[in-house]
Structure 1
Amino acid sequence: MSTEIQSWLLSIEPFEGESLSHFLGRFRRQNHLSPSALGDLAGVGAVIARWERFHFNPFPSDAELAAVAEVVGVTLDRLRQMLAPEGVKMKCEPIRLCAACYQEEPYHRLEWQYQSTGGCDRHQLRLLSKCRNCQAKFPIPALWEDGCCDRCRLHFGEMTKWQKSY
């Protein structure tokens, strides 16, 4: 990537435990980029759209991650932290969240998509996989611009009252 293009990009800091999907969506919105435009800038093609949907088969190569890390302005190691550790299985669907966590800090946590995660250890609440107001499934975290249900506009943080004990 040329330094001329890189100087125009606004950087953002990843949150602790943030999923790659959510981070890439925030970065793209900040810089008015589509998934394909970000993929083109990094020279990795269409993988960005796949990664935003938690489709990591094939798993991102070091070369792909390094190219994306350069464009988004984070280290390769920091980008790797936004991926599931080796041996941890991910759930691509449904997208899940802890409304109580989201109310405290509005971002998607990677651990919510682990197959082994049944609930939030911090709040002792089960994860939600759809809006409890209108039953709409949650979109991929890359699209969580307003932090609310796409259908009824209920804020994710307000869904805490529907979470059951874990």
Structure 2
Amino acid sequence: MTSADVRPGPFEQELLTSWLARVAVHSGCEPLVLTGAIWPDWRIWTVDADRQVSPEHAQAAAIWFNLPAESVHACTLLAAGNRLHGSINLNGPMWPWITTQGNRNRLRRAGLPFCPKCLAGDVQPYYRLEWRFAWVVGCERHGVRLVDRCDRCHAISEPHRSTAATGDLAHCVECGFDLRRSKCEPVDVQALSFQRRASDIFGTGMAAWGGEEISRTEWFRRARSLLAKDLCQVDARSAAAMGNRQIGLWFELQGPMEREARLRVLAGLLDDEALLVVRSQGRRRAPRSAQSTKVKNRRAKSPRTYPLARERVREVWARWLRRSRLW
């Protein structure tokens, strides 16, 4: 590929990695080849480039595609992160309310969520920015839960590993299954209701909490605090639907089905006005040094000598499967 080749720009709300992979595949080469030509000294696929790109890297892509640098930045999640948190920590390993994929070289620990029906309706299948928002677990247009893995071989969705042989970004990179034919399950009504509410607040910046007018940033901070394990417990029915694979990871590290179950509970908590008032007042916490001393003393007094609970064993097993890319 040379600088004289045709370079289509990104689609509306398209992720940066989706744009790059799509252009490469439709040009008859691998994404690694294209990005190597744009950034010879940057291994873009070893990092989560969808979060942000440096001004220098954005300018290099802008020159290559003959587009303004703003078009490149618009394909990243940086603007969304700043809207959610005021000023995002660029070097933080995880951004609240932005899903994390768990990069290890070119491989991922979590799949990139997608709506099979949206991909089926695209002229060239591509992945949307909003599918990386942790509160987005379903497609509002089609009413189905997002999918993050192949129906045939259960490999996670990794469109950046597509090649010219796959033809587009709608095929599994492991077995070649057409992801547009994935089984579609209806998204939970309560989870979808929370999703719409969060999306409205994200878009308008106007929010209310227990009768109090608060900022968008504060609303998302308080809602995230309600996702604590002791408050937002998944019921037995949801756990059984997930095969009892509750791995206890941070909310942003979980897949669409796990997040859907948590958001269903969170939607109910937001209807509890008394709870919202208590949470808005905050809870006093002991200093970090005092907490550390307390933990040390407790461990010294009562070492673990009893068997792990069944739920804990399942959680450890599910974590191992995830690390090994077997689930």
TM-score (norm 2): 0.42
Aligned to 2:35: 38
Higher relative contact order (CA 8 A, sep 6+): 1
Task: State how 1:142-153 maps to structure 2 within 5 Å.
Answer: 143=162, 145-146=167-168, 147-153=170-176
Aligned to 1:72: 65
Q: Does 1:162 align with 2:184?
A: yes
Change (3 A) 1:114 1:47: farther
Which amino acid letter does the alignment assign opposite residue 8 of structure 2? I
Contact residue 27 and residue 72 of structure 1 kept, 8 A: no
Contact residue 22 and residue 141 of structure 1 kept, 8 A: yes
Comparing 100-109 with 90-99, greater Cα deviation is found at 90-99
Contact residue 94 and residue 129 of structure 1 kept, 8 A: yes
Change (3 A) 1:142 1:70: farther
Task: State how 1:78-93 maps to structure 2 within 5 Å.
Answer: 78-84=71-77, 85-87=79-81, 89-92=98-101, 93=110
Greater helix share, structure number: 2
Q: Secondary structure at the match of 1:162?
A: coil
Which amino acid letter does the alignment assign opposite residue 149 of structure 2? K
Aligned to 1:20: 16
Comparing 28-37 with 12-21, greater Cα deviation is found at 28-37
CA distance in 2, matches of 1:135, 1:33: 23
Change (3 A) 1:111 1:50: farther
Aligned to 1:102: 119
Give 1:55 shift: 4.4
Q: Deviations over 1:73-115 (max 9, x none)?
A: 2221211121112425233222111101111112111221222
Q: For this pair of structures, how many residues does the alignment match?
A: 156
Structure 2 unaligned regions, length at least 5: 85-97, 102-109, 189-327
Which amino acid letter does the alignment assign opposite residue 108 of structure 1? Y
Change (3 A) 1:60 1:47: farther
Aligned to 2:159: 140
Give 1:36 shift: 6.0
State which of 128, 141, 144 in structure 2 corresponds to 1:122.
141
Change (3 A) 1:55 1:71: closer
Q: Does 1:49 align with 2:45?
A: yes
Which amino acid letter does the alignment assign opposite residue 35 of structure 1? L
Supply the RMSD in Å over aligned alpha carbons: 2.7
Which protein is bigger by CA-based radius of gyration? 2
CA distance in 2, matches of 1:100, 1:137: 18
CA distance in 1, matches of 2:120, 2:39: 36
TM-score (norm 1): 0.76
Which amino acid letter does the alignment assign opposite residue 13 of structure 1? G
State which of 3, 7, 10 in structure 1 corresponds to 2:6.
10
Give 1:135 shift: 1.6
Contact residue 97 and residue 112 of structure 1 kept, 8 A: yes
